[in-house]
């Protein structure tokens, strides 16, 4: 894929570029500010834009448009930034502390027509759900079977079923519909 990297830290940009090239992607540009990113978008026409939330001249979230697939990369797990990224049409929200393989898997999946918003940094919750359970809960609203969810999350089907049982127990629900209702009401998943 053709990728533009927008981050004010040169070390982050260089590390991302190296990892992405190693995975077979083409880096069409790099930018350190919002202004540079806007200029790069006019000339490079990337398929994916990896953008940091915090830039010296504004928020990277202001760059998000439906024209490109945006992967928001940030240090913080601010629920407000997550919601804004989702509402503006970002494809994913990834913490900088995540393993690089997680980011590479998201970018690979962006080529899929069935890709759904990925947000591994969903807000903390009072239900004590694990991050993997939150991942399963997020895609539960797709209506996919356990086998389809397992494929999407790179897990075994039995593992997904185990996560579902744990989710139902922790949310005190009996089925998927009830789980989705509780999750949406408590802002555990994005709509």
What is the per-residue pLDDT for 191?
67
Stretches in the chain below the pLDDT threshold 70:
77-79, 113-126, 191
User: Which residue shows structure tokens 């913490």?
Assistant: 95
Q: Which residues, 6+ apart, have CB-to-CB distance to 42 below 8 Å?
A: none
For the stretch 102-146, pLDDT in tens is 889 888 888 775 566 666 544 445 688 888 898 899 899 888 999
Query: What is the Cα–Cα distance from 129 to 190, expressed in whole angstroms?
Result: 15
What is the per-residue pLDDT for 161?
95
Sign of CA dihedral 67, 56, 22, 110: negative
What is the per-residue pLDDT for 115?
63
What is the per-residue pLDDT for 122?
46
What is the architecture, at CATH level 2, of domain 131-185?
Answer: Orthogonal Bundle (1.10)
pTM across the whole model: 0.63
Query: What is the Cα–Cα distance from 31 to 37, expressed in whole angstroms?
Result: 5
The H-or-E segment that residue 102 falls in is helix 100-109
User: Which residue shows structure tokens 């629900």?
Assistant: 173
Cα dihedral 165→105→72→65 (10° resolution)? -110
Q: Where in the chain is the domain with CATH 3.40.50.2300?
A: 2-109
What is the per-residue pLDDT for 83?
74
- DSSP secondary structure, 109-156, as one string: HTTSTT---B-TTPPP-TT---HHHHHHHHHHTTT--HHHHHHHHT--
Residue 15's CB is within 10 A of a number of other CB atoms, namely 14
Q: Taking the domain 2-109, which CATH number applies?
A: 3.40.50.2300
- DSSP secondary structure, 63-80, as one string: G--TTSEEEEEES---HH
What is the per-residue pLDDT for 32?
97
Contacts 24+ apart (CB under 8 A), 145-153: 152/109
What is the per-residue pLDDT for 11?
94
User: Which residue shows structure tokens 């806007």?
Assistant: 38
Q: Where in the chain is the domain with CATH 1.10.10.10?
A: 131-185
What is the per-residue pLDDT for 121?
42
């Amino acid at each position: 894929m053709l990728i533009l990297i927008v981050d004010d830290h040169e070390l982050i940009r260089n590390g991302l570029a190296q990892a992405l090239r190693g995975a077979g992607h083409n880096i069409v540009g790099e930018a350190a500010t919002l202004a540079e990113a806007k200029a790069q978008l006019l000339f490079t026409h990337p398929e994916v834009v990896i953008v940091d939330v915090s830039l010296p001249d504004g928020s990277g979230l202001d760059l998000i448009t439906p024209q490109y697939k945006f992967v928001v990369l940030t240090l913080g797990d601010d629920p407000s930034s997550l919601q804004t990224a989702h509402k503006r049409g970002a494809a994913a929200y990834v913490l900088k502390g995540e393993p690089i393989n997680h980011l590479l898997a998201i970018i690979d999946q962006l080529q899929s027509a069935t890709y759904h918003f990925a947000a591994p940094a969903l807000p903390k919750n009072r239900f004590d759900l694990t991050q993997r359970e939150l991942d399963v809960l997020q895609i539960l609203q797709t209506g996919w079977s356990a086998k389809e969810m397992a494929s999407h999350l790179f897990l075994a089907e039995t593992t997904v079923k185990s996560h579902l049982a744990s989710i139902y127990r922790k949310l005190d629900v009996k089925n998927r519909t009830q789980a989705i209702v509780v999750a949406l009401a408590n802002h555990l998943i994005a709509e």
